[in-house]
Amino acid sequence: MQPLANIAPLKPAGAIEVRNVGQVFKTTTQDVVALDNVSLDVKPGRFVVLVGPSGCGKSTLLMMMAGLRQQTSGTITISGAPIPEPDPNRVGVVFQEASLFPWLTAEENVEFPLALRGISKNDRRARAQEALKLVGLDGFGKRHPHELSGGMKQRVSIARGLVQDPPVLLMDEPFAALDEQTRMTMGDELLRIWAATGKTVVFVTHSLTEAVYLADEVIVMSPRPGRIVDHLQVPLPRPRTYEMLSGDAFGSLRDRIWRHIRKSA
């Protein structure tokens, strides 16, 4: 009866739209403008990397996309709808700090989001095992967080983010505490999963090499107040290889970002 509804342009799952978003924190001493008039469009299935100097508002932006914090002004839509509340069916988050539950084992931490959805014990365990294997923590499932090294905790946290399989994945410096080799392996793993599932990924990192290596698009931010200063497309072909790292195209993209960062830090 209402064919128009079907004709109207339908925002596909995974699109992110950020429109004139601002965020002001009230602190005891003064008001802090963390983000100022940020606009951004991420098409479904894109791998977008967010870079910018410490304190420029990357984490804040991610929290807003996840529905964990409300913007002071502007609008954000995920898959066509605003996100006033976190919605694990639309968005998954890997936090900057591992924030594991100390009373659960690594395994149980990874199972946590599945348990919330009432998935059966066996299923949960199997999927958690798989995710832990993916991050190289085979055999560490029974350990509690305080028995893990810093990098291991971060990897558990990544596994926890991956296991829930949402269309949009927000990752806040997930590889910061990892050594270069693990970091590369995990980056490749992530790209593989991304390519296979068609997820939209927003990824924060401080490593420019990592940024260019992983991204379809790199968004560069400047601090105080947080603004987008550049938005580059990375035209390198997929799958990415380590050889590309030493290529000219790669170098010039990296340099361009580097100049922004240097200026604003």
Nearest 5°: CA angle at 265, between 27 and 63?
50
222 and 53 Cβ atoms separated by less than 8 Å: yes
Q: Answer yes or no: are the C-beta atoms of 48 and 30 closer than 8 Å.
A: no
Check residue 60 for interaction with ligand ATP (CB under 6 A): yes
**All residues at 6 or more sequence positions from 201 whose CB lies less than 8 Å from its CB, including other chains:** 46, 47, 48, 168, 169, 170, 171, 190, 194
Distance CA 184, CA 121 (A): 32
- The minimum distance between CB 25 and ligand ATP, in angstroms, equals 3
Report, in Å, the least distance between residue 80 CB and Mg ion: 27
Binding mask 69-98 for Mg ion (x = CB under 5 A): ---------------------------x--
Can residue 149 be called a binding residue for Mg ion (CB under 5 A)? Answer: yes
Distances (CA, A) of 243 to 118, 130, 250: 45, 29, 10
- Interface with other proteins by CB under 8 A: which residues? 26, 28, 66, 68-70, 85-89, 91-93, 95, 97, 99, 101-104, 112-113, 115-117, 144-146, 160, 164
Nearer residue to ligand ATP within complex by CB, 124 or 173: 173
Interacting partner of 119 out of ligand ATP, Mg ion, its own copies, none (Cβ under 5 to 8 A depending on kind): none
**Residue 27 engages ligand ATP in binding (rule: CB under 6 A):** yes
Residue 132: is it exposed, middle or buried by C-beta count within 10 angstroms (0-12/13-18/19+)? buried
For residue 258, the partner it binds in ligand ATP, other proteins, its own copies, none, with Cβ less than 5 to 8 A by kind, is its own copies
Binding of residue 173 to its own copies (CB under 8 A): yes
Cβ 215 to Mg ion shortest distance, Å: 18
Judge contact between 38 and 61, C-beta under 8 A: yes
SS3 236: coil
At residue 148's C-alpha, the angle toward residues 142 and 154, to 5°, is 105
Nearer to other proteins, 160 or 227 (CB): 160
Distance CA 232, CA 256 (A): 9
Q: Which is nearer to ligand ATP, 146 or 262 (CB)?
A: 146
Piece in contact with Mg ion (CB under 5 A), picked from 110-118, 144-152, 185-193, 219-227? 144-152
Given 23, 59, 79, 205, the residue binding Mg ion (CB under 5 A): 59
**The one among 139, 150, 198, 239 contacting Mg ion by CB under 5 A:** 150
Q: What angle do CA 200, 205, 209 make, to 5 degrees?
A: 100
Backbone angles phi, psi at 54, to 5 degrees: -55, 130
Chain positions contacting its own copies, by CB under 8 A: 25, 27-29, 32, 51-55, 57, 59, 96-97, 142-144, 147-152, 155, 172-173, 176-183, 185, 206-208, 258, 261-262, 265
